[in-house]
Each structure stands twice: as structure tokens, then as C-alpha cells.
Amino acid sequence: NAGVTQTPKFQVLKTGQSMTLQCAQDMNHNSMYWYRQDPGMGLRLIYYSASEGTTDKGEVPNGYNVSRLNKREFSLRLESAAPSQTSVYFCASRTGSSYNEQFFGPGTRLTVL
């Protein structure tokens, strides 16, 4: 079991460029999440997917789009990157139990110049 995997690990973009962050989980979880983590702040939810075929906005969705491609994969797209999107991005998936345990990927460190 690889758990939650994310690609790429690092990325540098120029302002206005686009890119997609990939996330996959092999734990058969229904729910998946995208967070961003900025220095001195807690993680903030960008988008989540409660189940295959559904997506919903989180706390900070502006400038992002997501796709729940299938049960395993949940991608995050930046259509026109801005320096304010420089951050570390984490993908997570959740067990189906009421305990709400979330499992996290290793993160993608994105710098927008």
C-alpha cells in the first residue's frame, strides 16, 4: 500500500502559467481533500470530494479547480498561477468511519515567481 501519493514534489511556475497537481490513494477511500499550508498558518481547505463524481468548495477555492477523475484520483488545477499561490499543497483521503481519520500525502511545494 502506497497510501496517498502526490506528484510532483516540487514545482516552480511563472505568473500566468498553468499546472495540475496529481493525487492518488489506494485505500479505497470515498472522500478526498486538497489543502494548502502557508508559513505561520494552519492548513486551509481548498476543495474536497465527498465521493466519486462530487466536488465542493472549501475555505479558499478561488484560483483553483479540481477533478475527481475516479475513486482513486483527485487533481488540483491552477489555471493562471499567481505569486499568492506559492504554498505547500497537501492531498488527503478519509476513512469511511465516523472517526474522520485523514491520511495525508507528502505534499507538493509550489513556488510562483
Partner 1 sequence: KQEVTQIPAALSVPEGENLVLNCSFTDSAIYNLQWFRQDPGKGLTSLLLIQSSQREQTSGRLNASLDKSSGRSTLYIAASQPGDSATYLCAVRPQRDSNYQLIWGAGTKLIIKP
Q: Which stretch binds partner 1 (CB under 8 A): 11-19, 67-75, 77-85, 102-110?
A: 102-110
Complex with partner 1: residue 16 or 96, whichever CB lies closer: 96
Give just the sign of the alpha carbon dihedral 75, 72, 99, 101.
negative
- Nearest approach in angstroms of CB 50 to partner 1 is 6
Q: Which of residues 14-33 bind partner 1 (CB under 8 A)?
A: 31
Binding residue (CB under 8 A) for partner 1 from 45, 52, 55, 63: 45
- CB burial of 46-58 (b: ≥16 within 10 Å; e: otherwise) equals bbbbeeeeebeeb
Cα(113)–Cα(96) distance, rounded to whole angstroms? 39
If you write DSSP's letter for every residue of 64-88 in order, what string do you get? EEEEE-SSSBEEEEESS--GGG-EE
The residue (of 48 and 81) whose beta carbon lies closer to partner 1 is: 48
Q: Where does this chain bind partner 1 (CB under 8 A)?
A: 4, 31, 40-45, 48, 50, 56, 58, 90, 92, 94, 99-107
